[in-house]
Amino acid sequence: MDFIEFEKWVLKDFGIDLSAYKSNQLHRRIKSLMSRVGANNLDEYVILLKKDQEQRQKFLDFITINVTEFFRNPEIFNEFKLKLKEEITRSKRPLKIWSAACSIGAEPYSIAMILDDISKGVKHNIIATDIDNTILEKAKKGEYSASDIKNMPKDYANKYFSISEGKYILDSKIKNMVSFKKHDLIMDRYSNGFDVIICRNVVIYFNQDIKDNIYKKFSSALNPGGILFVGATESIYNYKDFGFEKASTFIYKKL
């Protein structure tokens, strides 16, 4: 079995289109994972993934890059907070927000805490999506480690978390502000009418055609004047092609 055959099997068995990823980077990651589990080739690895549920989940976590934390890149998040205030003032109504590829929920919950802080009493609509059902279930629990919240403002940590058996437990008020559902950025349809879309540290792993298609669909999903917040390594150099203007570092506004 070669990587083309392996990608076809993954698409059929997992519903994930690996052809969208940067191939050299992807193949290195898969070979690294195979070496960890003692698989000598792709055929052996497929056999393992078919019979071992734990390894299937590890493969899914490995491929879907479930690495995140609250207020990742704090200085950039501070810029986003200012833009979020501007958006609330501009719209004069509750915001519809999408946190795409949300992983364990740190990002949408970060947004929820900011909104609770700057617009108390307003019920904004925060939708958080990810391709991995297992990780979504973890997000819904709202239980985190100290490393997950290392960049969080201390007043937020004190206000919105309690500590139990070494875990940081998120306040139910913040949890209830976020709705989680499964969504594949590459293969699924996008909703629309969003005022804000957050998608950080994900599209960097995709090839350029897929990136452009995602940005095009993000633009279509946003209301005019809506903002897109991307990761610290994901500048959109051709943002004008998608009807955006640059609002700030890693923040783009739909014209």
Domain boundary among 39, 63, 87: 63
Residues 145-169 pLDDT 10s: 998 888 888 999 999 999 998 899 9
Phi and psi (nearest 5°) for 10? -65, -40
Whether residues 21 and 78 fall in one domain: no
Which letter does DSSP use for residue 171 in this model? Answer: P
Whether residues 87 and 206 fall in one domain: yes
Residues 11-70 pLDDT 10s: 888 888 888 888 888 888 889 889 999 999 999 999 999 999 888 888 887 776 666 789
Q: Per the domain annotation, does 86 fall within a domain?
A: yes
- Amino acid 119: pLDDT: 87
Whether residues 142 and 54 fall in one domain: no
For residue 164, what are the β-bridge partners?
167
161-164: strand order across its sheet: 143-144, 167-170, 161-164
User: Full-prediction pTM beyond 0.75?
Assistant: yes
Whether residues 20 and 120 fall in one domain: no
Domain boundary among 41, 63, 85: 63
Domain housing 13: 3-63
Whether residues 249 and 170 fall in one domain: yes
Residue 16 CA: distances (Å) to CA of 39, 57, 72, 127, 229: 21, 13, 26, 21, 24
Whether residues 238 and 132 fall in one domain: yes
- Give the other-Cβ count within 10 Å of 240's Cβ: 12
Whether residues 113 and 185 fall in one domain: yes
- Amino acid 242: pLDDT: 97
Q: Per the domain annotation, does 69 fall within a domain?
A: no
Whether residues 196 and 98 fall in one domain: yes
Whether residues 230 and 164 fall in one domain: yes
**Token pair 């051709």 is at which residue?**
238
Whether residues 28 and 98 fall in one domain: no
Q: Per the domain annotation, does 212 fall within a domain?
A: yes
- Amino acid 162: pLDDT: 95
Q: Per the domain annotation, does 68 fall within a domain?
A: no
Amino acid at 107: E
Whether residues 26 and 97 fall in one domain: no
Q: What's the CA gap between 161 and 226, in Å, rounded?
A: 30
- The total number of structural domains in the chain stands at 2
- Amino acid 201: pLDDT: 85
Whether residues 14 and 78 fall in one domain: no
For residue 229, what are the β-bridge partners?
198, 251
In this structure, what CATH number is given to the domain that contains residue 248?
A: 3.40.50.150
Domain boundary among 15, 30, 63: 63
